[in-house]
Amino acid sequence: MKSCILSYILLLPTLALCQTVNFAITVNDSPATISPFIYGTNQLMSGGENWGSMRLGGNRLTGYNWENTASNAGSDYIHSSDNYLPSVFGVPGDSSNVPGIVVEAFYRQAQPFNAYPLVTLQMAGFVARDKNGVVDSSQTAPSSRWAYVKPAKGAPLSLTPDTGDSSVSMDELVNFLVHTYGTAASGTGIRGYALDNEPALWKSTHPRIHPLQPTCRELIQKSVALSRSIKTIDPSAEVFGPVEYGFSGYLNFQSAPDWNSVAFGKSYGWFLDYYLDQMKLASDTSGRRLLDVLDLHWYPEAQGSDGNRITAANATSAADIQARIQAPRTLWDSHYKETSWIEQYYSSYLPLIPKLAQSIAKYYPGTKLGFTEFEYGGETDISGALAIDDVLGIFGKYGVYFATYWEGGSQTPYISAAYKMYRNYDGNNSTFADLSLPSRTGDSVNTSIYGSLKRGSHELHLLVINKNPGQGVAGHFAVSSGSPSGPHVTILSGKVWELKGGSSQIHSANDVSGISDSSFSYPIDSASVYHIVLQTSMITGVSAPAGLPVDFALYQNYPNPFNPATVIVYQVPADGHVTLKVYDLLGREVTTLVNHFQRVGQYSVTFDASRLASGVYVCSLMSGGHTAAKRMVLMK
């Protein structure tokens, strides 16, 4: 590993091998909250990751029967209906048929971390009725091998379901879980429910359950029915959908038979616009929100120059590694062009997060964003850690609400280490701070930086990534206020932890030294991640959002200035109608971001200004007789 040796009197000759990079961190007066639920997983790893969220999901869950714990593997494994899920969760054989035992075992996994538990519900039409092995094509549903799935039972609910009938009811499962753990609002219940798994692929992953390509209309009908059922039992639970598998699903629902007809005469740019629009219309009709989180899966299509996709096991060349560590830029950076079929044919949909934010803002404002499956390859290599730590930083910076990693292989030492850099860098479950600070690097190609302020303390946290595998960085860090009258920060000391190639173990590094007021220098090795914890003097003038809002508040958008998208965070102290609008300086309305009933809480909305000219805009919040406004600067 090539590193830089810094002298605060002289730059030693070794520094000729290093690039000097300036990193700027701004402590503004109203930082946005980083969701702890972006640090999640679908599978337990080596231990010590201190998960913020966990998901019970995947292909197996589409055919899962909660009443007898049977599930079907679909095309993943000979269309077998069996006892796989209880065995995966270590349920003893004499308990493997107990109703709900798989969800209970999952809940017990999540509980030690106080992780957000997300449970997948079934809506493809049928679930496994037995554990008798292979289901051949002659037994395609409906047949005796399958039980019908109903969103609502239409009869009194029981805590002991009838396993002898021919149907399974989702509201009965939700009722069982509420009775067992409480509602989502209680703090101990299941907090979120996903509307099945990757529906655009049902025809290929589960041809015995859903042999025909699902239509757009079918998905909306089933999603609305299941969401209404969930909200009837637990109004405080969050609903995740459409749990879409990848870009072709985002685009046209895998060329759904009715896509052209539902999109005809509409302004939909892709299927996700239609989905959001239809879910909002159904919500308005129902008088309550039926979609809380836009749930997507993201497996990058980026390739190295040798044609290997970065998520493939053989993507190990220098070209593959370079493509992997740059691929996170596709999430946010309009200047980056990856090598992929998406970039080649559908570049107008990239970068991805601003495009998604634009769709949400236009068709269903207030919907949160989640990625419940994603991976970038390199799980046994430092490049995998560099990519995932960059992705997690991006998720925090751009207001993603929920994210759970999906393992691509059985060994994931560097991915485990990447999560620990945010959630357990010191072995004591210490975490990256929870209030996002604007942070910039002078070289976004080779480096990344993410800054945060720990709520109620004087700690600043920096997560610094050097993506260059052959050159160290002479880093110069400057912490400043967002305005002359803003918070003033004086750095007193700094502790450092590092993750480098050659070992997936995190080590403490040399302390920060040579501090001058709010600046310091520190060497960053090639292909490495550093977590720097700065102790500062008293920080005044920062209005940190509270966990449960008690005041009406509109926080300064972040980033600001911005291009092309920015996140607006606000909170309302009581249930009521909320309006969030954007105006130009002449008082002309530019767009309405929120205009509906919301429960007490804190919310974040992304404002996409791709089609607007540079200038100053005003964000206005109104609710319950209160008003607030903030200026936002668009710089293109």
Task: Report H helices in 533-636.
Answer: none
The values of phi and psi at residue 569, to 5°, are -115, 135
Work out the average pLDDT over 103-116: 96
Bridge-partner residues for 461, per DSSP? 452, 533
Check whether residue 207 and residue 282 sit in a common domain: yes
Q: Are strands 491-500 and 40-41 parallel, antiparallel or unpaired?
A: unpaired
Cα–Cα distance measured from residue 52 to residue 34, given in angstroms and rounded to the nearest whole number: 12
Whether the predicted pLDDT of 105 surpasses 60: yes
| Percentage above 70 pLDDT, the chain | 93
491 Cβ contact partners less than 8 Å away, ≥ 6 residues apart: 460, 479, 512, 515, 517, 518, 519, 520, 534, 535, 536
What is the residue-wise DSSP string for 591-606? EEEEEEEE-SEEEEEE
Check whether residue 522 and residue 567 sit in a common domain: no
Predicted local distance difference test score (pLDDT) of residue 485:
62
- Residue identified by tokens 């720990």 is 454
**CB of 401 closer than 8 Å to CB of 38:** yes
What is the residue-wise DSSP string for 223-276? HHHHHHHHHHH-TTSEEEEEEE-SHHHHHHTTT-TTHHHHHTTS--SSHHHHHH
**CB of 168 closer than 8 Å to CB of 209:** no
Instruction: Provide long-range contacts, Cβ within 8 A and 24+ apart, for 169-175.
Output: 170/121, 170/122, 170/123, 170/226, 170/229, 170/230, 171/229, 171/230, 171/232, 171/233, 173/66, 173/100, 173/103, 173/121, 174/121, 174/229, 174/230, 174/233, 174/234, 174/237, 175/233
Check whether residue 234 and residue 199 sit in a common domain: yes
CA-based end-to-end distance of the chain: 38
Element (H, E) at 353: helix 352-363
* Residue 586: inside a domain: yes
Work out the average pLDDT over 105-114: 96
Cα–Cα distance measured from residue 591 to residue 393, given in angstroms and rounded to the nearest whole number: 29
Indicate which CATH number applies to the domain containing 621.
Answer: 2.60.40.2550
Cα–Cα distance measured from residue 263 to residue 273, given in angstroms and rounded to the nearest whole number: 10
Check whether residue 355 and residue 453 sit in a common domain: no
Side chain identity, residue 188: T
**CB of 600 closer than 8 Å to CB of 564:** no
What DSSP character marks residue 115?
P
* Residue 414: inside a domain: no
**CB of 615 closer than 8 Å to CB of 584:** yes
Walk across the sheet containing 491-500 and list its strands: 32-33, 435-437, 447-453, 459-466, 528-536, 491-500, 507-508
**CB of 272 closer than 8 Å to CB of 246:** no
- Residue identified by tokens 């640090």 is 39
Check whether residue 22 and residue 90 sit in a common domain: no
- Residue identified by tokens 């077998």 is 80
Work out the average pLDDT over 157-178: 96
* Residue 309: inside a domain: no
Walk across the sheet containing 126-128 and list its strands: 126-128, 146-150, 167-169
Side chain identity, residue 627: T
Predicted local distance difference test score (pLDDT) of residue 482:
67
Point out the domain boundary residue: 348, 374, 400.
Answer: 374
Check whether residue 441 and residue 465 sit in a common domain: yes
Q: What is the pLDDT of residues 230-279, one digit of tens each?
A: 999 999 999 999 999 999 999 999 999 999 999 999 999 999 999 999 99
CA 541 to each of CA 30, 481, 486: distance values in angstroms, whole numbers, following the listed order: 9, 10, 6
Predicted local distance difference test score (pLDDT) of residue 569:
79
Q: Note the maximum CA span of the chain.
A: 81
Predicted local distance difference test score (pLDDT) of residue 11:
36
Check whether residue 297 and residue 367 sit in a common domain: yes
Cα–Cα distance measured from residue 149 to residue 139, given in angstroms and rounded to the nearest whole number: 17
| pLDDT level of residue 8 (50, 70, 90 thresholds) | very low
* Residue 420: inside a domain: no
Cα–Cα distance measured from residue 315 to residue 603, given in angstroms and rounded to the nearest whole number: 39
Predicted local distance difference test score (pLDDT) of residue 540:
58
Element (H, E) at 274: helix 271-286
Check whether residue 18 and residue 136 sit in a common domain: no
* Residue 8: inside a domain: no
* Residue 107: inside a domain: yes
| pLDDT level of residue 516 (50, 70, 90 thresholds) | very high
Q: What is the pLDDT of residues 351-371, one digit of tens each?
A: 999 999 999 999 999 999 999
Domain that holds residue 516: 13-33+432-536
Predicted local distance difference test score (pLDDT) of residue 31:
86
Predicted local distance difference test score (pLDDT) of residue 2:
52
The values of phi and psi at residue 21, to 5°, are -125, 130
| pLDDT level of residue 556 (50, 70, 90 thresholds) | confident
Which of 451, 460, 382, 462 shows the shortest CA–CA distance to 418?
Answer: 382
Whether the predicted pLDDT of 545 surpasses 60: no
Check whether residue 61 and residue 134 sit in a common domain: yes
CA 70 to each of CA 91, 92, 146: distance values in angstroms, whole numbers, following the listed order: 13, 14, 10
Indicate which CATH number applies to the domain containing 449.
Answer: 2.60.40.1180
Q: What is the pLDDT of residues 558-603, one digit of tens each?
A: 788 889 988 887 888 776 788 999 999 888 999 999 988 776 677 7
Cα–Cα distance measured from residue 400 to residue 355, given in angstroms and rounded to the nearest whole number: 13
Q: Which tokens go with 63?
A: 């055919």
Indicate which CATH number applies to the domain containing 224.
Answer: 3.20.20.80
Work out the average pLDDT over 487-516: 94
Q: Which tokens go with 589?
A: 């309305």
Point out the domain boundary residue: 536, 565, 582.
Answer: 536
Give the SS3 label for residue 32: strand
| pLDDT level of residue 12 (50, 70, 90 thresholds) | very low
Q: What is the pLDDT of residues 471-485, one digit of tens each?
A: 999 999 999 886 666
Check whether residue 244 and residue 166 sit in a common domain: yes
**CB of 403 closer than 8 Å to CB of 40:** yes
- Residue identified by tokens 């109703």 is 99
What's the predicted TM-score (pTM) here? Answer: 0.84
**CB of 151 closer than 8 Å to CB of 229:** yes
Walk across the sheet containing 553-554 and list its strands: 553-554, 565-572, 601-608
Give the SS3 label for residue 495: strand
Cα–Cα distance measured from residue 246 to residue 545, given in angstroms and rounded to the nearest whole number: 34
Q: What is the dihedral of CA 557, 559, 565, 570, to 10 degrees?
A: -20
* Residue 308: inside a domain: no
Check whether residue 95 and residue 188 sit in a common domain: yes
Q: Which tokens go with 471?
A: 């050159």
Q: Which tokens go with 56?
A: 């019970």
Domain count, the chain: 3
Choose the catalytic residue: 198, 218, 244, 373: 198
* Residue 388: inside a domain: no
Predicted local distance difference test score (pLDDT) of residue 489:
81
Q: What is the pLDDT of residues 383-440, one digit of tens each?
A: 999 999 999 999 999 999 999 999 999 999 999 999 999 999 999 999 999 999 999 9
Whether the predicted pLDDT of 543 surpasses 60: no
Q: Are strands 19-27 and 402-405 parallel, antiparallel or unpaired?
A: unpaired
Check whether residue 22 and residue 46 sit in a common domain: no
**Does 198 qualify as catalytic in the annotation?**
yes
Lowest-pLDDT range of 26-35, 167-176, 324-333: 26-35
Predicted local distance difference test score (pLDDT) of residue 145:
98
| pLDDT level of residue 552 (50, 70, 90 thresholds) | confident
The values of phi and psi at residue 371, to 5°, are -120, 95
